[in-house]
Structure 1
Amino acid sequence: MSSALDEDTQQTLAAGRETAGAMLRAAQKDLQKVFIVFLIGFLGTFYALRLYVWDFFKGITRAQMDAATEGVLEIIAQTPFDVILLQAKIGLVVGILMALPPFIYFARDALKERNAWPQSPVAPWKLLLIGLTMVVLFVLGVAYGYFVFFPFTFAFLAKNAFSAGFTPTYSIVKWAQFIFLLTLSFGLASQLPLAMTGLSYAEIVPYELFRDKWRHAVVGIFAFGALFTPPDPFTQIMWAVPVISLYAFSLYLAKVVVTAKRGSEKMDVKSTATAHWNVLAGIGVVGGLLVYAFYEYSGIQLANAGLGAIGSDYAFLAPESQLVLGAFVVSGALVGLLGGVAYFVYRDIERLERTEVGVGEPSKLDIGALSASGVRAAPPEAFAELDEDQAMGLASAAIDDGDTEKAQAILDRFDEAQGGEAAEEAADAPSEIEDRTTRAGGVFFDELTGGETDEDDIGGYYKDIAFIVDSLTSRAFWLVGWFMFVLATTFGWLYTGGIRDVYEDFLRRLPDVVTPEEVLNVVALHPMEALIFEVKFSTILAVLATLPLLAFFAWPALRDRSIVRQRRRTVFLWTGALAGGLLGGFALGYSYVAPGVITFLVEDAIAAEMIIAYRITNFFWLIFFTTAGIGLLADVPILMVLLNTAGVTYDTMRGRWREVTVLILALSAIFTPASITTMFMVTIPLMAAYGVGLGILFVITFGGRRNLAPARGTAE
C-alpha cells in the first residue's frame, strides 16, 4: 500500500503520526483533566437534550404553523434506540470539541519543539477578546436561525406536505440532523466578520480580493443556501440576505482594520475620540433617545402590528421596570457611541493614508480602487513594482467589473513602466496557456491510447465526443432554457397541488379489497422529503423532454462523424416511437401493474391488522417504477432498434454491455432514492430489457450479419 503513495505524502503522514504521538506524551500527565472536560461536555449535552432542548426544538418547529398543520405534525422515533443514540452522538461531538482546546494547551511543549506554536507571545486579553467575539457571533447567528428562520421554514415545509395530503411525521433523527446542519451553517456564516478581518489583517487573503470579488461571493452564498434550504425563493432569501449583509459589514470592518495597519502607527484612537468628543456625545444621546422613543411612543405597537401583518406570532415585550428600560437606553447610547468612534477612526486613518501616498509613497497607491482616468493619471512608480501576475490580476478584476477601458489602461501603464516587454508577454499569455493546455491534453491522450488515434479506441471516442459537444455550444442557450422551462413547469404543477391530484386519482384506481383509507397515511419523515421528491421527479421529466431537442441539434455532427447515417428528420420518428413506448407502458403500469403491486403489498399488512404508513419517497418511487418504469423498459428495445437503423451495429451493442451497465448504475444512483437496493432494483430490469433488445436485434439482423442501417455512402 505504501508504494502507492509518493515520498512527500509518506513523509507528511509520518510527521503527522509523530506529532500526534508527541502531543499525547506531552499531555499525558494532564489527560485526566482533558477527560473531565470531555465528560462534562458529554453528560451536560446528553441531559440538556433530554430535559430542555427537545422541547425547545419542538417549540420553534411549531411556532409559525397554523392550527390544522400543527395538529397533524408529529415527531417520532423509528427504533427504540433512536433518541438515546442521537443524544449520545451529539454529546460525544460536543464533548470532543470542548476537550480539544485544553488538550492542545497541555500539549503545547510538543508543538513548540516542532515550530507549530506561535513564537511571538500573544497577550491573553487578545486571545480572550477573539474567543469572546467568536462565541458572540456564533450565538447571534444561531439566534437568527432559531427565532426567525426555522419557524418560517418548518411552517412552509409542513404546510406543503399537509396540503399535498401527506402527514408531516418527522423522524427525530432526520429532524434533528436537519436542525443541527442549518444551525451549524448559520453559526459558521456569522463568523464572516472575524474571518475576513483576520485574513485581511494578516494579508493571507488581501482585502482587495474580498472587495473585488463580491459578486462571486453573492453567487456563492445563494448557491450554498440552495443546497441547505428548501428550494422556494422566500426561505432562500431569508438565508442569503443576512449572510450578504454580514459580508458587506465584514468588508467595512476589514477595510477599517487594514487601513489602520497600512495607514500607520501614527493614528491614536484616543486622540481621534477626544477631537470629536462633542459629536460622539451627541450620537450617543441620539442612540439612547431612539431606544427610549421606541418603547415609550408606540414603537412596540407599530413593530408588533408589522410582524402580525406578515403572519408572525413574535412580539416585542415592554420592559418590566424602569431599570430595564434604563439598561436598554444605555445600551442604545453605547452602540451609537461605538459606531461614531468607528466612523471617525476610519475616516481619519483613510485621510492619513491618502496623504502619505500622495506625498511620498506612490507605490502604495491602490490601483484597483481607481477609475480608468485615475489609472492614466497615477504616477509611474505605482506600476514600477508590479509584476506580470499582479498587472494581469488587476486587469482581470476590471474586466469582471465590466470596465474594459480601465483594464486596457492598467496594461498600457504597466507596459510603459516595464519598457514594453512585459505587456507584450502578458498579451501573449492566454495563447501560450492555450497552447500548453492543448499540448498537455495531446500528451495525456497519446499516453492513454499508446499514440494511436484509431476510431475504435479511447482517443477516437474522445475526438468524436469533443466534436459533438463543440457543435452543441451555440445551442446551449436553447437546451438549458428548455430544460429549465420543463423543470420549473413540472415542479410548479406538483408544488401547487399536482402531486395531491395524482395521489388521489391513484387511490381511486385501487381494487375494492383495498380501501383508500388503508393506504392514505403517507408520511414525511424528513422536513424536506416532499420537496426533494418533487425536484427529482421534475428533473427526470426535464431530462426526458430535453433529449429529443439535444438529438436534433447534435444530429449534423453525428452524421459528420459517421455515427449515424440518416437525415435529421429521423429525430421526429425516434421521438414518436419512444414517446409511444413510454406512454403505452405508463398506461399499462398506471392502470394495472401499480395497483396490483400496491394491493399485493397491502393485503398482508391488513390481514395482520397493522398500521400502514408509507414514506413519501418510497410510495411515489414505487408508483413511478411501476408506471413510467414500464414505459422506460419498453423503450429500451425500441431505442436499440432505432440505434441500429442509425448505424450502431449489433456487435457494438453486444460488446459494450459493460459500459451500458455502468451508465445505468450511475443514473440510478443520481435519480433514485439513496439506497443500494433501489439502485439494483432499477438496474437489473433495465439490463434485462437490454438483453431483450439484443435478442430482438439478433433475430432481425441475422446475428449481426445484416444491420438495419443504410450502407455507407448512402442516406435516406
Structure 2
Amino acid sequence: MSSALDEDTQQTLAAGRDTAGAMLRAAQKDLQKVFIVFLVGFLGTFYALRLVVWDFLKSVTEAQMSAHIQGNYDIIAQTPFDVILLQAKIGLVSGIILAAPIFVYFSRDALRERGAWPQSPVAPWKLAFIAVTTALLFVAGIAYGYFVFFPFMFAFLAGNAISAGFAPTYSIVMWAQFIFLLTVSFGLAAQMPLAITGLSYAEIVPYETFRDKWRYAVVAIFVFGALFSPPDPFTQIMWALPLLFLYGGSLYLAKVVVTARRGSERVSVPAVARRRWNVLAGSAVLGGLAVYLFYERGGQAGFNGLLARTGSDYRILEPGSTLGLSPEVSLAVWAALGAAVFVLGTLAYVVYGAIVEAADPTEPGRGDPTQLDISRLDAAGVRAAPPEAFGGLSEEEAMAVAGDAVDEGNHEKAQAILDRFDETEEQREEGETEDDDTIEDRATRAGGTFLEELTDGETGEDDIGGYYTDLAFILDSITSKTFRIVVVFMLVLAGTFGWLYTGGIKDVYEGFLAQLPAAVTPSEVINVVALHPVEALIFEVKFSTLIAALVTLPIVAYYAWPALRERNIVNQRRRSVFLWTGALTVGLLGGFVLGYTYIAPAVISWLVNDAVQAKMIIAYRITNFFWLIFFTTAGIGLLADVPVLMVLLNSTGISYQSMRGRWREVTVGILAFAAVFTPAGIMTMFLVTVPLMAAYGVGLGVLFVVTLGGRRNLAPARGADV
C-alpha cells in the first residue's frame, strides 16, 4: 500500500529523525548535565509556585478589586490533584525551556556537520547584547501585564459576573493557565522592537515594508489581542494600545538603525563633531546648568515631594551625601556628568542627521531614484540611471526633457532620454501582461482543478458542480450589498452584547428562575458559577453572534432572491421574503413561549430533583446553564421552524420527494453544525442532532399530508408570477 505522504514529506521527516538522533548521540556524554539543568528548573519552579507564586498571583488578581468583590470571588480546586498536577506541568515546561539551550549547545557538532550551525563566528558582545535586550523586553512586557493589565482586567471581570448575579469561582487550573498564557503573550509581544529592528537591519524584511504596511499591522495587533485577551472592548483596548505605541516606536528605531547602516560609511563621527563643535559646547553648558539649577533652585525638594505623594520611599539625596566629597565638589561632579550626558545625546543627534543627509540628501537625484532630476545628467548619466527614474514620467514630461536637451544642443542626451523612456514603458507593459496572464491562468487552472476534483469533470445542475456554480453565482450577486449586511450584523451583535453586558443576562436569569415550580426554589439553583475568568463574556459574545446571524439571514435572503429566482431555485417574487420571515418568526416565537413556559422549567426540575432531595449544593457553570436554557427555549422555536421551513421550501419548487430522498445529506449537515456550534462533547452533539432530525421527520409528515403523498407540490408552475 502506498504511503499517504509524498516523497518530499517523507524525506523531510527522515532528515528530521536523523538530525535528532545525531544530536542525541553528540550530546550523549553530556546528557547528565542537561538532565541536572532540567531538574533544577523543574524543582525550582515547583517549589516557587508552592511558596511564592500562588500568593503573588492572587495579590495581582485582587490588586484593584473592591472589598465587596474580594469577598465574593474564590479560587477553587475541582479535584484533589489539581494543584499538584498543575505545579508539575508548569515545572516540566520550565525545566524543558531551561534545558533546551544546553542540549543544543552540547549537540552543536552534529548540527555543524549538517550545516545547521552558524559557520561564521559571531562577536560575543553582539550575542550578549541580543540576549540582554531580549530579556529586558520580555521583563518589560510581563511588568505591564502584572502591574497594569491583570489588576484592572480581573477587577472588571469579577465585578461584571457579580453584578449579573453569578459567583466568580475560578478553577485554579483555568485561572493559572489564563494568566500564564497572557504572560507569555505579553513577553513575546514586547519583542516587537527587537524583531522589527533586526529584520530591517539584516534587510530580511525592508524597513519600508513595515512602514508602508502599518494598516495591516494594526489589524494583526487587534486580531492577536482578540485571541489572547478577553473578548470585551475594554481589555482589548488595554491590550492593543501599548502594542500600537510599541509598533510606532519600533518603526522609528528601525529607521534610525537602517539609516545608520546605509549611511555610516559616508560619515566620520570626529568630522561631524568638529563641524558642530559649537552645538556640542552649548549642550555641555546646558546640561551642567540644568543639574546645577535642579539642586540649587528647589528641583530636588519638589521631586522628592512628588515621590512622597505617590507613596514611594525613594528620595534624591543631597550632592554631598553621595560621593563622599564636599557639597560643592559633589555638585560640580554631578554637573559635569550632566554635561557629558547632554553632549553624548547631542552628538548622537547631529551624527544621525549627518547620516540621513548622506543617505538621502535633499538635492534631487540622490536617495530616492524616483526623484532623480534627469535634466541635470549628461548622456552617460541618463543611460546609467535606474529604471525607477523614468517610471514616474509621462510621455509629455519625457518629450519636454528631451526637447530641452535638443535646445541645449545635446542631441545624444535627448536620444538617450527617449530610448530609456521607451525601454521602461515596454518593460512595464510586459510585466503587467505577464502578471495578468499568470493570474488568469492560475485562477483558471485552480478553478478547473477544483471543479474536476469535485465533479470528476461533470458540472451538471444535479451534481455538486452544479451546486457550486449556483452558490458562486448567488454569492457574487450579493457582493455589492456586503457592506449593508455587515453593518446590520455588527449593529445587532453590538446591541445584543451591550444589553447582556449591562445587566440583560441577569434579567434573563432571574426571569427564568421565576418560571420554576415551587418544588425547586430559586435559592436551590442560584449557584451559577464562572470557573474561567472570561466565561461569562465568551457566552455573551457567542449568544450575540447567534442572534445577529438570525436577524441578518432575512436581509441576505432579500438581496440574494433575484439570483435564486434566476437560477430556478425559487419561483416567487422577492416580496415572498417577507412571508418567509413572518412565518419563521411566528414559529420561533411560538416555540420559544412553549419552551420558556413549560419545557425548560420541567427539564430543570427533573435534572435537579435528585440533588434537591439529597440536599446537595447545586452549582452550574455559566455556559452549561445558559446553553441549557437556550436549547430548551429558543431551541424549541428553532425546532418548530424546521417543518415551517420545509413547507416554504416546497412552495419554491423543492419537491417532497427530494426532501425525503436527501435525508442522509441533511443528517450529515446537522451533525457538522452540531459539532461546530454546540458545547464540546459527543452527548451534546447528539442531543442537538436527534431533536433536529425528529423535527425533520415531522416536516416530512406534514409535507406528505399537504402534498397528498407528493403528488401535488405547493410550488407554482415554472415561469408563473407569484
The two structures have a TM-score, normalised by structure 2, of: 0.86
Shift of residue 702, structure 1, vs aligned partner: 3.8
Q: Residue 48 of structure 2 aligns to which amino acid in structure 1?
A: A
CA–CA separation in structure 2 for the residues paired with 1:337 and 1:600? 81
Q: 2:114 matched to 1:114?
A: yes
CA–CA separation in structure 2 for the residues paired with 1:27 and 1:376? 66
Alpha carbons 2:174, 2:532 under 8 Å: kept? yes
Matched with 2:440 is 435
Alpha carbons 1:138, 1:187 under 8 Å: kept? yes
CA–CA separation in structure 2 for the residues paired with 1:290 and 1:235? 43
Shift of residue 448, structure 1, vs aligned partner: 3.4
Matched with 2:700 is 694
CA–CA separation in structure 1 for the residues paired with 2:369 and 2:294? 40
Matched with 1:518 is 524
User: Residues 10, 515 of structure 1: CA spacing in aligned structure 2 closer, same or farther, 3 A cutoff?
Assistant: same
Alpha carbons 2:197, 2:250 under 8 Å: kept? yes
Bigger radius of gyration among the two = 2
Shift of residue 322, structure 1, vs aligned partner: 2.6
Alpha carbons 2:163, 2:503 under 8 Å: kept? yes
Q: 1:269-284 maps to which residues of 2 (within 5 A)?
A: 277-278=280-281, 281=284
Q: 2:574 matched to 1:568?
A: yes
Alpha carbons 2:171, 2:532 under 8 Å: kept? yes
Matched with 2:135 is 135
CA–CA separation in structure 2 for the residues paired with 1:475 and 1:66? 48
CA–CA separation in structure 1 for the residues paired with 2:420 and 2:535? 59
Q: Which runs of 5+ in 1 are unaligned?
A: 306-314, 393-411
User: Residues 556, 334 of structure 1: CA spacing in aligned structure 2 closer, same or farther, 3 A cutoff?
Assistant: farther
Q: What's the C-alpha RMSD, in Å, of the aligned pairs?
A: 3.3
Deviates more, 1:168-177 or 1:329-338: 329-338
User: Residues 172, 714 of structure 1: CA spacing in aligned structure 2 closer, same or farther, 3 A cutoff?
Assistant: same
Shift of residue 700, structure 1, vs aligned partner: 2.9
Matched with 1:208 is 208
Shift of residue 492, structure 1, vs aligned partner: 0.8
Q: 1:50-69 maps to which residues of 2 (within 5 A)?
A: 50-69=50-69
Q: 2:419 matched to 1:424?
A: no
Q: Residue 425 of structure 1 aligns to which amino acid in structure 2?
A: E
Kindly provide the CA deviation profile for residues 563-603 of structure 1, in whole angstroms up to 9, marking residues without a partner as x: 01112221111111111111111111111111111112222
Alpha carbons 1:383, 1:413 under 8 Å: kept? no
Counterpart among 311, 314, 332 of residue 319 in structure 1: 314
User: SS of 1:72's equivalent?
Assistant: coil
Kindly provide the CA deviation profile for residues 56-96 of structure 1, in whole angstroms up to 9, marking residues without a partner as x: 11111111111111110111111111111111111111111
Shift of residue 442, structure 1, vs aligned partner: 2.8
User: Residues 156, 443 of structure 1: CA spacing in aligned structure 2 closer, same or farther, 3 A cutoff?
Assistant: same
Alpha carbons 1:77, 1:172 under 8 Å: kept? yes
Shift of residue 207, structure 1, vs aligned partner: 1.0
User: Residues 244, 16 of structure 1: CA spacing in aligned structure 2 closer, same or farther, 3 A cutoff?
Assistant: same
User: Residues 316, 432 of structure 1: CA spacing in aligned structure 2 closer, same or farther, 3 A cutoff?
Assistant: farther
Matched with 2:655 is 649
User: SS of 1:501's equivalent?
Assistant: helix
Matched with 2:642 is 636
Shift of residue 459, structure 1, vs aligned partner: 1.7
CA–CA separation in structure 2 for the residues paired with 1:61 and 1:291? 40
Q: 2:607 matched to 1:601?
A: yes
Matched with 1:312 is none
Q: Which runs of 5+ in 2 are unaligned?
A: 324-333, 393-416
User: SS of 2:532's equivalent?
Assistant: coil
User: Residues 294, 653 of structure 1: CA spacing in aligned structure 2 closer, same or farther, 3 A cutoff?
Assistant: farther
Matched with 1:624 is 630
Q: Residue 450 of structure 2 aligns to which amino acid in structure 1?
A: F
User: Residues 436, 55 of structure 1: CA spacing in aligned structure 2 closer, same or farther, 3 A cutoff?
Assistant: same
Counterpart among 364, 368, 387 of residue 365 in structure 1: 368
CA–CA separation in structure 1 for the residues paired with 2:50 and 2:374? 64
User: Residues 107, 342 of structure 1: CA spacing in aligned structure 2 closer, same or farther, 3 A cutoff?
Assistant: farther
Q: Residue 461 of structure 2 aligns to which amino acid in structure 1?
A: E
Q: Residue 564 of structure 1 aligns to which amino acid in structure 2?
A: V
Q: 2:176 matched to 1:176?
A: yes
CA–CA separation in structure 1 for the residues paired with 2:348 and 2:67? 48
Shift of residue 256, structure 1, vs aligned partner: 1.8
Q: Residue 566 of structure 1 aligns to which amino acid in structure 2?
A: Q
CA–CA separation in structure 2 for the residues paired with 1:132 and 1:31? 27
Alpha carbons 1:230, 1:236 under 8 Å: kept? yes
Q: 2:686 matched to 1:712?
A: no
Q: 2:390 matched to 1:384?
A: no
User: Residues 514, 436 of structure 1: CA spacing in aligned structure 2 closer, same or farther, 3 A cutoff?
Assistant: same
Shift of residue 711, structure 1, vs aligned partner: 2.1
Q: Residue 190 of structure 1 aligns to which amino acid in structure 2?
A: A
Shift of residue 341, structure 1, vs aligned partner: 5.2
User: Residues 342, 14 of structure 1: CA spacing in aligned structure 2 closer, same or farther, 3 A cutoff?
Assistant: farther
User: Residues 703, 505 of structure 1: CA spacing in aligned structure 2 closer, same or farther, 3 A cutoff?
Assistant: same
Q: 1:281-300 maps to which residues of 2 (within 5 A)?
A: 281=284, 296=300, 298=302
Deviates more, 1:90-99 or 1:296-305: 296-305
Shift of residue 690, structure 1, vs aligned partner: 1.4
Deviates more, 1:32-41 or 1:413-422: 413-422
Shift of residue 676, structure 1, vs aligned partner: 3.5
Kindly provide the CA deviation profile for residues 204-260 of structure 1, in whole angstroms up to 9, marking residues without a partner as x: 111110111112111211221122223333322221111111111111221122222
CA–CA separation in structure 2 for the residues paired with 1:291 and 1:677? 73
Deviates more, 1:317-326 or 1:98-107: 317-326
User: Residues 647, 582 of structure 1: CA spacing in aligned structure 2 closer, same or farther, 3 A cutoff?
Assistant: same
User: Residues 387, 304 of structure 1: CA spacing in aligned structure 2 closer, same or farther, 3 A cutoff?
Assistant: farther
CA–CA separation in structure 1 for the residues paired with 2:322 and 2:682? 63
User: Residues 283, 321 of structure 1: CA spacing in aligned structure 2 closer, same or farther, 3 A cutoff?
Assistant: closer
User: SS of 1:317's equivalent?
Assistant: coil
User: Residues 380, 550 of structure 1: CA spacing in aligned structure 2 closer, same or farther, 3 A cutoff?
Assistant: farther
CA–CA separation in structure 2 for the residues paired with 1:5 and 1:210? 37
Shift of residue 284, structure 1, vs aligned partner: 5.8
User: Residues 583, 36 of structure 1: CA spacing in aligned structure 2 closer, same or farther, 3 A cutoff?
Assistant: same
Matched with 2:357 is 351
Alpha carbons 1:491, 1:538 under 8 Å: kept? yes
Q: Residue 74 of structure 1 aligns to which amino acid in structure 2?
A: D
Alpha carbons 1:376, 1:413 under 8 Å: kept? no
Q: 2:86 matched to 1:102?
A: no
CA–CA separation in structure 2 for the residues paired with 1:187 and 1:465? 45
Alpha carbons 2:280, 2:347 under 8 Å: kept? no
User: Residues 141, 710 of structure 1: CA spacing in aligned structure 2 closer, same or farther, 3 A cutoff?
Assistant: same
Alpha carbons 1:563, 1:647 under 8 Å: kept? yes
Kindly provide the CA deviation profile for residues 627-680 of structure 1, in whole angstroms up to 9, marking residues without a partner as x: 001111111111111111111122322333333333333333443323343232
Matched with 1:409 is none
User: Residues 383, 6 of structure 1: CA spacing in aligned structure 2 closer, same or farther, 3 A cutoff?
Assistant: farther
Matched with 1:47 is 47
Q: 2:231 matched to 1:231?
A: yes
Matched with 1:396 is none
Kindly provide the CA deviation profile for residues 134-193 of structure 1, in whole angstroms up to 9, marking residues without a partner as x: 001000000001001111111111111111011111111111111111111110111011
Q: Residue 424 of structure 1 aligns to which amino acid in structure 2?
A: E
Number of aligned residue pairs: 678
Alpha carbons 1:384, 1:418 under 8 Å: kept? no
User: Residues 320, 139 of structure 1: CA spacing in aligned structure 2 closer, same or farther, 3 A cutoff?
Assistant: same
User: Residues 287, 266 of structure 1: CA spacing in aligned structure 2 closer, same or farther, 3 A cutoff?
Assistant: farther
Alpha carbons 2:284, 2:342 under 8 Å: kept? no
Q: Residue 432 of structure 1 aligns to which amino acid in structure 2?
A: D
Matched with 1:161 is 161
Matched with 1:501 is 507
Alpha carbons 2:83, 2:172 under 8 Å: kept? yes
Shift of residue 334, structure 1, vs aligned partner: 9.2
Alpha carbons 1:26, 1:109 under 8 Å: kept? yes
CA–CA separation in structure 1 for the residues paired with 2:618 and 2:214? 52
Percent same amino acid at aligned positions?
65
User: Residues 162, 549 of structure 1: CA spacing in aligned structure 2 closer, same or farther, 3 A cutoff?
Assistant: same
User: SS of 1:5's equivalent?
Assistant: coil
Matched with 1:463 is 469
CA–CA separation in structure 1 for the residues paired with 2:56 and 2:219? 33
Q: Residue 678 of structure 2 aligns to which amino acid in structure 1?
A: T
